[in-house]
């Protein structure tokens, strides 16, 4: 079974790119069929204000509940995630003794509601705050209590961008992983994938670095050290990381075959929105660069392993036994 672990539905156009096509539910299913993908994890968009210039300005479904209910039409193909902003939660007026250490937001009632609606994970988190912000740690810990893995967009330090930010070396991510050992954390985006290489500058965490990878980065160390960390290879950032240096990429995919998730992050409809990830992995398989077992884990088995709430009768071992 092949699972695209990172997809969206909706209108993600910006004023500069109104020529692009929105992703519809029908368009998503059509793409899955044409690319030979069995199922897709759909991540609701528009939760954090930094994530888009004009969140769902032209979309008929602007709320998460509307997106989740629409997904129910395609239960045989769609795996639903909920989404939250760690800054959510009005605490009301604080008492004097709470000013220095405000209480944590209780997300449990929201997470319980997401589970009722069939969600099996949370993401992608795009709030522009630190990866180890106490509000992030609180949300991720509570997601772990509900067996909900969390996928986050990672960027470099600075304002005016979207995604949880971290410095070179991912020190904040390491603190988060230490604080939430029972939560599956899935990293994604330039601030995460730039760290496949060592000796980088902060500027590289906002772009797609090119050229051979001469020294191993902090990402490999974290993947080896923390069982709860997984890596989503979607979007240009993930594809660039595994393909810019083919030999290094093959070694990386092979070593971390149990921690990597295939995804595309297609945000626009039509052929222009297609991504090359699956074709590249299939090419590596045909060239015997990666083993069939590696391909199977990355393209589906790892997803099923961490989606603890996903119905067992939808898993390949149960489908045709």
Over residues 279-313, the pLDDT tens digits come to 999 999 999 999 999 999 999 999 999 999 997 44
pLDDT at 13 over 70: yes
pLDDT of residue 55: 52
Mean pLDDT, the chain, integer: 90
- The confidence score (pLDDT) of residue 315 equals 43
Which percentage of the chain shows pLDDT scores above 90?
Answer: 72
Question: pLDDT tens-digit profile of 263-274?
Answer: 999 988 888 889
- The string of DSSP letters for 232-252 reads E--HHHHHHHHHSSHHHHHHH
Average pLDDT of the segment spanning 193-219:
95
Is 50 exceeded by the pLDDT of residue 317? no
Above 50 in pLDDT, residue 132?
yes
The confidence score (pLDDT) of residue 54 equals: 54
**CATH for 3-87+104-319 (3.20.20.140, 2.70.98.10, 3.30.530.20, 3.90.1640.10):** 3.20.20.140
Total residues belonging to the chain: 321
Run of H or E residues at 123: strand 122-125
Tell me what the mean pLDDT of segment 3-29 comes to: 87
How large is the average pLDDT for residues 232-258? 98
Provide the residue ranges of all domains of the chain, joining segments of one domain with +.
Answer: 3-87+104-319
CA angle 94, 98, 102 (to 5 degrees): 85
Task: Give how far the C-alpha of residue 124 lies from the chain's centroid of Cα atoms, to the nearest Å.
Answer: 5
The residue among 157 and 91 whose pLDDT is bigger is: 157
- Is pLDDT of 60 > 80? no
Tens-place pLDDT, residues 172-187: 999 999 999 999 999 9
Give me the helices (H) in 132-245, please. 134-145, 171-179, 190-193, 218-225, 235-243
Give long-range contacts, CB 8 A cutoff, 24+ apart: 276-281: 276/239, 277/233, 277/234, 277/238, 277/239, 278/2, 278/4, 278/35, 278/36, 278/37, 280/239, 280/242, 280/243
Q: Is residue 61 predicted with pLDDT exceeding 60?
A: no
pLDDT tens-digit map of 25-39: 999 999 999 999 999
Q: Rounded mean pLDDT of 130-135?
A: 96
Average confidence (pLDDT) over 101-111: 89
């Amino acid at each position: 079974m092949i699972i695209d672990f990172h997809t969206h539905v909706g209108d993600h156009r910006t004023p500069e790119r109104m020529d692009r096509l929105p992703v519809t539910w029908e368009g998503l299913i059509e793409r899955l069929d044409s690319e030979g993908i069995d199922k897709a994890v759909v991540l609701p968009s528009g939760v954090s204000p930094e994530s888009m210039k004009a969140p769902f300005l032209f979309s008929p479904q602007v709320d998460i509940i509307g997106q989740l209910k629409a997904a129910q039409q395609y239960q045989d193909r769609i795996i639903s995630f909920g989404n939250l902003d760690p800054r959510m939660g009005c605490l009301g007026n604080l008492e004097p003794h709470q000013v220095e250490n405000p209480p944590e937001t209780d997300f449990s009632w929201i997470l319980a509601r997401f589970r009722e609606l069939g969600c099996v994970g949370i993401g992608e988190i795009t709030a522009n705050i630190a990866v180890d912000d106490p509000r992030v740690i609180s949300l991720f810990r509570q997601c772990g209590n509900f067996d909900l893995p969390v996928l986050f967009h990672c960027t470099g330090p600075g304002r005016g961008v979207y995604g949880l930010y971290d410095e070179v070396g991912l020190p904040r991510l390491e603190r988060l992983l230490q604080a939430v050992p029972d939560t599956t954390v899935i990293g994604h985006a330039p601030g995460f994938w730039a760290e496949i290489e060592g000796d980088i500058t902060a500027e590289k965490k906002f772009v797609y670095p090119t050229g051979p990878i001469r020294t191993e980065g902090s990402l490999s160390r974290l993947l080896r050290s923390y069982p709860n960390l997984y890596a989503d290879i979607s979007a240009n950032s993930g594809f660039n990381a595994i393909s810019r240096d083919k030999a290094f990429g093959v070694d990386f995919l092979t070593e971390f075959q149990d921690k990597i998730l295939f995804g595309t992050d297609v945000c626009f409809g039509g052929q222009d929105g297609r991504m090359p990830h699956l074709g590249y992995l299939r090419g590596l398989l045909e060239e015997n660069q990666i083993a069939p077992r590696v391909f199977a884990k990355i393209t589906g088995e790892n997803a099923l392993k961490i989606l603890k709430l996903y119905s067992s009768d939808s898993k390949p071992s149960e489908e045709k036994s």
